[in-house]
Structure 1
Amino acid sequence: MELRARNRDWLTPWDATNPHPGGGLPSFRQMVRGLNEQARAGAALPFAITERDDDGVTRLAGQLTVSNILWGSAMMATAGYWVDQARAGRGIVPTALAMATDHCFKVLGLHRMEINIRPENAPSLRVAEKLGFRDEGLRVRYLHIDGEWADHRSFAVTADEVPEGLLGRLGR
């Protein structure tokens, strides 16, 4: 909660909001409980992004959630993430997203991973570019973000496009 509070200004332009007048978002505890329920149901995978500092201490650096996991003929999911502003630009998010995507492809057997990014979010657009996610176009008024319906660019990669895995691609 301290990390999120410290990063409020950095994250607010990208954070989901409730489109219903006067509607709020779940508390941190409610969010964790909901993510745990979704994980048990096989619909989401919540991950903490950590980084080891110079003293060897592992600290929370952000969060990545694989959500909207669809089984059956779709075999796909959507990833979303955030990172501490003080740690942005260090390759933490591309590495975390590559690891999560590789897990989804190689362990769960999913076929497709999507990420949806606000067009003005240059750092996240760079993540998609670094990992070679394919730009599939604009989703008009896709998600309610920072108090309004916001356009997003949709990016995807499929398992057959990265047989060596995204972490392997990132390492090259």
Structure 2
Amino acid sequence: MDLSAPRAHGPVSIRLVRSRDARVLQNELLSNRSWLRRWEATNPDGAVSFDMRLGIRRLLQQYRDGTSVPFVMQYGSEVAGQLNVWGIARGSLSSAMIGYWVSERFAGRGITPTSVALATDVCFGELGLHRMEICIRPENRASLRVVEKLGFRYEGLRRRFIHIDGDWRDHYAFALLREDVPQGVLQRWVSGHAPRDAAVVPPADRIPTPGP
């Protein structure tokens, strides 16, 4: 499956990451350290070297192997962040997960929900997957708004699920099935038909978070 052509809606687009994106992506990550550090996955065995060129090579190899689809998010012609479809499973599972980051200077422009909708539509429509999942820390209110807008369904609390910012962190799990969105995720959202309460976390699962 050739996913090299960009997918776009308005000024927002996603495309496969390229080797020549290494410099701009590394600059964005370095200039957004205070913005992103709290949400970045870390290695429980200790720090690892930060080499964006090597990271992109690994992502593109995973793409060739069929286990991930690494996208760059753009706003107009500018790189705004990354979105990675990872853990792609075929056969009886037919599912994948989505992770992403966006630069602080692009926050509030609808880039992340639009990109997630575009990527999920690619996974359902072009890759033929059946289920897409996003796991979000309870403290990450911006990401929680993304799944609320797109109508992802809350599926449960995952205790100490991913090592982030130096420790194992709890996550809320949200998912969509292909049959949930026959018209596509993007179309359902922009037409105002995404369910408003699908992503509501039940009181029994809510984890107290710091105030603003």
TM-score normalised according to structure 2 size: 0.77
RMSD between superposed Cα atoms in Å? 0.9
Q: Which runs of 4+ in 1 moved over 2 A?
A: none
The corresponding residue for 1:168 is: 187
- Counterpart amino acid of residue 9 in structure 1: S
The corresponding residue for 2:57 is: 33
1:12 aligns with 2:31: no
Unaligned runs of 5+ in 2: 1-25, 192-212
Unaligned runs of 5+ in 1: 53-57
Cα displacement string for residues 51-81 of structure 1 (whole angstroms, at most 9, x for unaligned residues): 11xxxxx010011000000000011000000
1:139 aligns with 2:158: yes
- Counterpart amino acid of residue 24 in structure 1: V
1:67 aligns with 2:86: yes
Count of aligned residue pairs for this structure pair: 166
Identify the match of residue 178 of structure 2 among 152, 159, 164: 159
1:47 aligns with 2:66: no
SS of 1:72 mapped into structure 2: coil
Q: Percent identity?
A: 52
Cα displacement string for residues 121-154 of structure 1 (whole angstroms, at most 9, x for unaligned residues): 0000000100000011110000000000000100
Distance across 2 between alignment mates of 1:25 and 1:114: 28
- Counterpart amino acid of residue 115 in structure 2: A
1:23 positional shift = 3.8
TM-score normalised according to structure 1 size: 0.94
- CA 1:26–1:41 in 2, change beyond 3 Å: closer, same or farther? farther
Distance across 2 between alignment mates of 1:153 and 1:25: 29
